[in-house]
Structure 1
Amino acid sequence: MTTVTRRNVLKSGAAVVGGMAGILATGRAPAFAQGTTVHWLRWNDFVPASDQLLRKELLPEAEKALGIKINLETVNGNDLQPRVTASVQSGSGPDLIMVFNNQSALYAESVVDLSDLAEEVSSKEGGLYKYSRAVTSDGKKFNAMPWTIVGAMNAYRKSWFEEVGVTKFPETWEAYYDAGKKLKAKGRPLGQAVSHSFGDPPTFVYPLLWSYGGKEVEADGKTVAINSKNTIDSVKFMTSFYKDTCDEGGLAWDDTSNNRAFLSQTISSTLNGASIYIESLRNPDKYITEKGAPLKTDIRHAPLPKGPQGQFGLHTFFSHMLMSYSQNQKAAKDLLRWVHTPANYEKWFISQKGFATPPTAQWESHELWLADPVMDPFKVAGKLGQAPGFAGPARKQAAEALTKYVIVDMYAKAIQGASAEDVVKWAESELKKIYT
């Protein structure tokens, strides 16, 4: 047995220092404890090729580079938040969890601060968008690592709009209403989910509210301001718009329903990410128009129309939380750093074909955007997004209001027959429970 002496300890310490220098010089990750496994929970991607890329190529490469095992679990997007809540309450679960929009603010006390990683990526990639910061950071702490922005644009049938005399996508809500009435009369309604689903419903109703000058709260983030003439006017418009232009089954749709409806050619326009178009590209022989042409040739994209007070967009934001209960925090953080390394992230970004826009400005100039002009409107979604909770900050209260679908339900109740004044008063009551 070797005698433990001060000299031996100093020699072993020098070896450790030398070893770390060697690791840094070679670019190899330090070895983790034997059997270290990072559990990563994400949604089932609307671009299946990206999930396949993660499983078959990127994560095996990450395992080799980092010396860890990665357990990738994917679930329906609407099932993510219940999993987060259960994990926080039990103090155990996945190490990394994907969340949407500003949901991470709800779990600020249960996550690891990722400011150093977020700022590192920001400094190397032309800066995080203002929107990226607004929905993941409170200005002092990043509750989640920004991952991507799925731009919400209207996918519409160019030829069908032209058949009713509309050669350019309508620029105002009133013009869209007029076009929609003509299309529905021909059996080609618009399609829009107004339901409890994380993506399409809020990305439609929040910008509608803002475009009429409505808002949840004042800039102080405390004073509830929903009960206004502007909000009431937006609700009255939505009531008529939905009845006269939309497939009214949308009150029960989730985020996949409009994709199926559009691809089966039962609706003429819908607010969506680029997944409808990308699916038509992947299967050109499967999706054919009534005239025998590939459906992909008849799909175009445009932002939501302007209202009396301007034009707005709410684009679904994706980020990853590192949970404070995790026993593998360093390994999980190293995995985040690895996937955000441009050479690795670029592979995933390309597989998305523009469905997902990175959270930093550098990627706006990527050659991917030059490949297909139909995708061009999605390129700057990160610049144009406005965060939930406007005119206040996108903090915990705004996230709670979004998660509870207060604004979505305000419009849904009116569509189902309640008066605009009554539903706005209801929303005011619900928001006061949250903000005061």
Structure 2
Amino acid sequence: MVQTKRRSVIKLAGSAAAVASTGMAGILASGRTPAYAQQKTVHWLRWVDFVPASDTLLRKELIPQAEKELGMKINLETVNGNDLQPRATAAIQSGSGPDLIQAFNNNTYIYANSVVDLSDLVEDLAKREGGLYKYCRSLCSDGKMFMAMPWAVIGAMVAYRKSWFDEAGATKFPETWQEYHDIGKKLKAKGRPIGQTLGHTFGDAPTFTYPFLWSWGGKEVEADGKTVAINSKETLESVKFMTGFWKDACDEGGLAWDDTNNNRAFLSGTISATLNGASIYIETLRKPDQYQTEKGKPMKEDIMHSPLPKGPGGQFGMHLMQSDMLMKYSKNQDAAKEFLRWIHAEKNYGKWFESQKGYSTPPTAKWESSPVWNADPVLAPFKVAARLGQAPGYAGPPNGKAAEALTKYIVTDMYAKAVQGMAPEESVKWAEGELKKIYSA
């Protein structure tokens, strides 16, 4: 009896070994590793989207679909946009962290030595989709490599209450800064000021102050990207104008605002206009019963968008560029690239773009013909935002020094110091000194 059991055990063991051998041979012949060894985890760090439906789409549909089709785990982490840069810096210093990290504007240049070249992915995308916008290329590539994969451009336009502007005598949005000042002064007298941040926040502050500087003919540096040129007559005139504009037309509490305060102020009816993406309008579309005018009508019917006014030096815009960096320390670089290819495929990226409802402009020309732009004329001004953007650092290139100046909020602080009482000449001189520390290093 004992011997029979022993023979049975030996026989079963032999059969199991044969099966295992056959299975392994099959795996080796196919060139594929076992599923448990093949599984990878890609950690993707992004901002908390100002269009909540898009984050929901990623978490509930696109990420699960990618995991199924790619055979990998994707860990999507979202944080406040102002926290992305500190997280990236900490990850690089420690040599570990998210595989993919979202970057804003020209911050990509700060991390150029710590990221993987994504030129092959980007150029393939550009070829498929009618070319990459110059604005996106300049902020993601130093001419030698693509430091990040362009994701989208958040167009910055002035959202304003049409009926309130009509009552103040502006049947169309003011074309010049002087006209905007005059209308804003009337609006503020009625308790309906313009809302604008001059705080240290990634979006609404620099996308306002940089184009404002340019529109007066001011600039940080000359075209050589080395000679600091901010201390000019044109810059000084812009600062002097800002002090009057701020006092006469703006909500002066805006000095401390981040990128959410102006949204809340507009939706609560305490400001008449603010530079923003389309998120305010989209929120009123989502909740028409919640956001009403003082006359009890849906606020969505009283919102329009316009580019910033023009000044003596012209009319400009700076729009928030979003891209994804693949970090050199990542142990999942191939998997991360595979995921980037997947998410940028037209059928997948298109779902995300449509969920944005016009809040984001894709980085390639193909999407200009999307039906999204024809669905709502209120969103039409955002269609070509990526074509019209000008990069920080103008008139020089958007290099690492320009990125450092942006992240230190030097241009924004120049105006903030002046509206708080510093003499315009002194605030300009201060900005010149801070820029020289960067560009002379």
Q: TM-score when scaled to structure 2?
A: 0.92
Aligned to 1:423: 427
Distance, in Å, in 1 between the alignment partners of 2:37 and 2:128 is 30
Distance, in Å, in 1 between the alignment partners of 2:427 and 2:276 is 26
Aligned to 1:187: 191
- In the alignment, is the contact (CA less than 8 A) between 2:39 and 2:71 conserved in 1? no
Q: What is the CA deviation profile of residues 195-227 of structure 1, one whole-angstrom value per residue up to 9, with x for unaligned ones?
A: 000000000000000000100001111111100
| Structure 2: unaligned runs, 5 residues or longer | 1-13, 15-24
* 1:92 has 2:104 as partner: no
Distance, in Å, in 2 between the alignment partners of 1:33 and 1:429 is 56
* 1:73 has 2:77 as partner: yes
Aligned to 1:63: 67
Cα deviation, residue 36, structure 1:
1.2
The aligned amino acid for 1:324 is K
Aligned to 2:299: 295
Distance, in Å, in 1 between the alignment partners of 2:296 and 2:121 is 50
Bigger Rg, structure 1 or 2: 2
The aligned amino acid for 1:46 is F
The aligned amino acid for 1:255 is D
Cα deviation, residue 292, structure 1:
1.2
Distance, in Å, in 1 between the alignment partners of 2:399 and 2:123 is 20
The correspondence for 2:210, drawn from 192, 206, 213, is 206
Distance, in Å, in 1 between the alignment partners of 2:341 and 2:67 is 13
RMSD after superposition: 1.7
* 1:265 has 2:269 as partner: yes
Distance, in Å, in 2 between the alignment partners of 1:225 and 1:65 is 53
- In the alignment, is the contact (CA less than 8 A) between 1:410 and 1:427 conserved in 2? yes
**SS of 1:42 mapped into structure 2:** strand
**SS of 1:301 mapped into structure 2:** strand
Structure 1 runs, 4 residues or longer, greater than 3 Å off = 29-35
The aligned amino acid for 2:198 is V
Distance, in Å, in 2 between the alignment partners of 1:165 and 1:109 is 53
**SS of 1:89 mapped into structure 2:** helix
- In the alignment, is the contact (CA less than 8 A) between 1:288 and 1:295 conserved in 2? yes
Cα deviation, residue 33, structure 1:
3.6
Distance, in Å, in 1 between the alignment partners of 2:159 and 2:423 is 31
- In the alignment, is the contact (CA less than 8 A) between 1:32 and 1:67 conserved in 2? no
Q: Using a 3 Å threshold, how does the CA distance of structure 1 residues 368 and 32 change in structure 2: closer, same or farther?
A: farther
The correspondence for 2:126, drawn from 122, 129, 152, is 122
Distance, in Å, in 2 between the alignment partners of 1:30 and 1:45 is 37
The correspondence for 1:172, drawn from 176, 180, 188, is 176
Distance, in Å, in 1 between the alignment partners of 2:248 and 2:222 is 33
Q: What is the CA deviation profile of residues 223-271 of structure 1, one whole-angstrom value per residue up to 9, with x for unaligned ones?
A: 1110000000001111110111000000000000000000000000000
Q: Using a 3 Å threshold, how does the CA distance of structure 1 residues 32 and 371 change in structure 2: closer, same or farther?
A: farther
Aligned to 1:323: 327
- In the alignment, is the contact (CA less than 8 A) between 1:102 and 1:399 conserved in 2? yes
* 1:221 has 2:221 as partner: no
Distance, in Å, in 1 between the alignment partners of 2:36 and 2:294 is 58
**SS of 1:139 mapped into structure 2:** coil
Q: Using a 3 Å threshold, how does the CA distance of structure 1 residues 354 and 406 change in structure 2: closer, same or farther?
A: same
Q: Using a 3 Å threshold, how does the CA distance of structure 1 residues 59 and 425 change in structure 2: closer, same or farther?
A: same
- In the alignment, is the contact (CA less than 8 A) between 1:30 and 1:66 conserved in 2? no
Distance, in Å, in 2 between the alignment partners of 1:276 and 1:178 is 24
**SS of 2:205 mapped into structure 1:** helix
The aligned amino acid for 2:396 is G
Matches within 5 A, 1:381-420: 381-420=385-424
The correspondence for 2:235, drawn from 220, 228, 231, is 231
Matches within 5 A, 1:45-64: 45-64=49-68
Distance, in Å, in 2 between the alignment partners of 1:421 and 1:119 is 46
Distance, in Å, in 1 between the alignment partners of 2:141 and 2:419 is 35
Q: TM-score when scaled to structure 1?
A: 0.93
Aligned to 1:356: 360
Distance, in Å, in 2 between the alignment partners of 1:65 and 1:105 is 33
Distance, in Å, in 1 between the alignment partners of 2:193 and 2:137 is 37
The aligned amino acid for 2:126 is S
| Structure 1: unaligned runs, 5 residues or longer | 2-11, 24-28
The aligned amino acid for 2:388 is L
Cα deviation, residue 32, structure 1:
8.5
Aligned residues: 417
